[in-house]
Structure 1
Amino acid sequence: MDETELAGRAAKGDPDAFLLLMETHKAALYRTAFAFLKNEHASIEAVQEVTARAYRSVRRLKNPEFAKTWLTRIMINYCQDELKRKGREPSVDRLPDAGRTDRHDRLEIDEALQSLPDEARRLIHLKYFEEMKIREIAELEQIPEGTVKSRLYHSLRQLREFFAGKGGNRDV
């Protein structure tokens, strides 16, 4: 059963389909939570809370093909609420054990991402770490696809300039 069909069944009240849907997106939701909260325990709690919130409102999921986007939006809202409650500034520049780079490269990437505005970091996170499509990001952020493309282009250019300024010859 594909993800859209699974989400459609969950929206119609099938609890088993809902559990499978959450299992499918659990890792991505955790990474998103960790990117905001930067704490393993808080991120696990966030996944649990978002699961409960999603279950309570799954019948309001209008477009099953955007289930991942819908779940990610719930997670982002939850994390932003938590950060406001704790009086901390949101940041989406780190992932737990990205595994693709060594420690030095990750530190450099973190530093480069930190140089971007929050909105740009969020778009970079969604596109390149969560591997969301432009259309999904546009739906999630409630902005046109062209705007997403433009902002990503400018953010990537800023990252290239950051690395060029450090004397690096990186292809970002």
Structure 2
Amino acid sequence: MNLKEVKNLGEEEVITLAKSGDKEAFAKLMYERKDVLYKTAYIYVKNKEDALDIVSETVYRSYASIKKLKNPQFFNTYLTRILINCAVDMLKKKKIFVNGSENVLLNKAVKDEDIEGNIDLYRAVDLLNDKYRTVIVLKYFRDMTFEDISEVMKCPIGTVKTYLHRALKTLRINMDCPEK
């Protein structure tokens, strides 16, 4: 199909076309998600070039394996999982290991989109272990539901909630916020 025809299709139809190898359909899907992919990658690496590398690798990996996607409605979950794996791979490759406040604080920081103004928050999120950081990123920076996070992380919803609770508790400590 040409790009003009692809633009007039619904999302599930475009995903189905992309699964069958249609490059224009895949390009449309990536174009629509480029900002979200970049912002999520940036949260992990705090560096424009590395974030762009992660997005590039995510696009490559997703294109190479899109035929494995069983259900088009889970495309965003599939793409997010690939992005997180790429980000974690890059952090490990660069040997950047992390050891390892409040909901209102996180929501406010995310809505502000002022990275410099929220540097303490971003540093505190960086100190979290991979699982806790992933839950925080997906919940507050990607605004995903517990069910979606559970799908991305391949773990039960109860585990996701536990990770979130522990991550918030750790963030409160790291940021010296009183518990509420």
TM-score interval, normalised by the smaller of the two chains:
0.7 to 0.9
Which is further off, 38-47 or 100-109? 100-109
Q: What do the CA deviations read for 1:36-95 (whole angstroms, capped 9, x no partner)?
A: 22210121122122212211211111121111111111112222222222222259xxxx
| 1:54 partnered with 2:53 | no
1:19 to 24, 27, 51: 27
Matched with 1:34 is 42
Matched with 2:4 is none
Cα distance in 2 between the residues matched to 1:75 and 1:48: 10
| 1:138 partnered with 2:150 | yes
The change in CA–CA distance for 1:142 and 1:16 in structure 2 (over 3 A counts) is same
Cα distance in 2 between the residues matched to 1:58 and 1:103: 33
What residue identity is the alignment partner of 1:138?
A: S
Cα distance in 2 between the residues matched to 1:35 and 1:19: 24
Query: 1:159: how far off?
Result: 3.7
Instruction: Provide the aligned length of Structure 1 versus Structure 2.
Output: 163
Cα distance in 2 between the residues matched to 1:115 and 1:85: 18
Superposition pairs of residues 86-125 of structure 1, within 5 angstroms = 86-89=94-97, 100=112, 106-114=118-126, 116-125=128-137
Query: 1:153: how far off?
Result: 3.1
Query: 1:22: how far off?
Result: 0.7
Cα distance in 2 between the residues matched to 1:100 and 1:130: 14
The change in CA–CA distance for 1:130 and 1:41 in structure 2 (over 3 A counts) is same
Cα distance in 1 between the residues matched to 2:113 and 2:34: 23
The two structures have a TM-score, normalised by structure 1, of: 0.77
Query: Once the two structures are aligned, what percentage of the paired residues are identical?
Result: 36
Any conservation in 1 of the 2:62–2:82 contact (CA below 8 Å)?
Answer: yes
Matched with 1:94 is none
Task: Determine helix, strand or coil for the equivalent of 1:10.
Answer: helix
- Gapped runs of 5+ residues in structure 2? 1-8, 100-108
Query: 1:107: how far off?
Result: 2.6
What residue identity is the alignment partner of 2:166?
A: H
What residue identity is the alignment partner of 1:149?
A: K
Any conservation in 1 of the 2:41–2:83 contact (CA below 8 Å)?
Answer: yes
Superposition pairs of residues 160-171 of structure 1, within 5 angstroms = 160=172, 165-166=176-177
Query: 1:138: how far off?
Result: 0.7
Query: 1:101: how far off?
Result: 6.1
Task: Determine helix, strand or coil for the equivalent of 1:132.
Answer: coil
Query: 1:137: how far off?
Result: 1.0
Any conservation in 1 of the 2:98–2:128 contact (CA below 8 Å)?
Answer: no
What residue identity is the alignment partner of 1:128?
A: Y
